[in-house]
């Protein structure tokens, strides 16, 4: 089970390249290093199961989560490319894709975001992040957040499955979001829907979450 991860939220201009590279080293290359260690023996034994804790943000980018989403997209692409070869050797790969999970991990990320310096971005972007994104995120976690125990139960079901799924989403509230992206290959439908949700109907979003 690959579960190492770090988070990053905020305007892109306010993130250092060193911090981005460190995040990718943990979230993506940490997984790569693990798979390189365990896969050869699994192939020799012609049996094994690699379970990767990914994220719904490996399927859908979320505003102000640019680099974190990129790391999870990398995880998804890596596993999607590897799974066909692995199946040839009777090795299963499963991606567990949670939405928001209420843990110290998330709390720390958002506490740091509230204290951060946003002078490197323009005032409008800083205002959108602090007064729209952070406020809505708290409502999202309060309304839709899962417990670590719930994610552990989902992961256990994936591990114990007779035919392990390649992808397993833990929160059905996010299924329509993933479906929306695949419904329109041009991306226009998804982009328009998210733009309106964030900038036109944010009051309705907050009310519905509450």
- Cβ-in-10-Å burial (0-12, 13-18, 19+) of 89 comes to middle
Strand partners, 52: 2, 95
Q: Give the SS3 label for residue 151.
A: helix
From 68, 110, 195, 201, active-site residue? 68
Contact 76, 54 (CB under 8 A): yes
What's the rounded Cα separation, in Å, for the pair 28 and 54? 10
133 catalytically annotated? no
DSSP state of 64: T
Active site residues: 68
């Amino acid at each position: 089970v690959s579960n190492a991860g770090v988070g990053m939220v905020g305007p892109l201009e306010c993130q250092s390249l060193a911090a981005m590279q460190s995040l990718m080293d943990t979230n993506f290359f940490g997984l790569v290093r693990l798979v390189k260690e365990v896969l050869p023996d699994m192939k020799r034994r012609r049996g094994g199961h690699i379970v990767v804790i990914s994220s719904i943000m490996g399927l859908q980018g979320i505003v102000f989560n640019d680099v974190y989403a990129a790391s999870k997209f990398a995880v998804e692409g890596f596993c999607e490319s590897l799974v066909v070869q692995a199946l040839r050797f009777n090795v299963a790969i499963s991606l567990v894709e949670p939405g928001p999970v209420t843990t110290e991990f998330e709390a720390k990320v958002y506490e740091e975001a509230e204290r951060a310096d946003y002078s490197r971005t323009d005032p409008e972007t800083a205002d959108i992040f602090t007064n729209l994104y952070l406020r809505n995120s708290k409502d999202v976690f309060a309304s839709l957040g899962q417990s670590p125990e719930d994610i552990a139960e989902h992961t256990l079901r994936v591990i114990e499955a007779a035919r392990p799924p390649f992808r397993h989403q833990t929160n059905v509230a996010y299924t329509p979001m993933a479906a929306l992206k695949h419904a329109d290959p041009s991306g226009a439908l998804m982009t328009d829907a998210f733009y309106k949700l964030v900038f036109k109907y944010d009051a309705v979003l907050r009310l519905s979450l509450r």
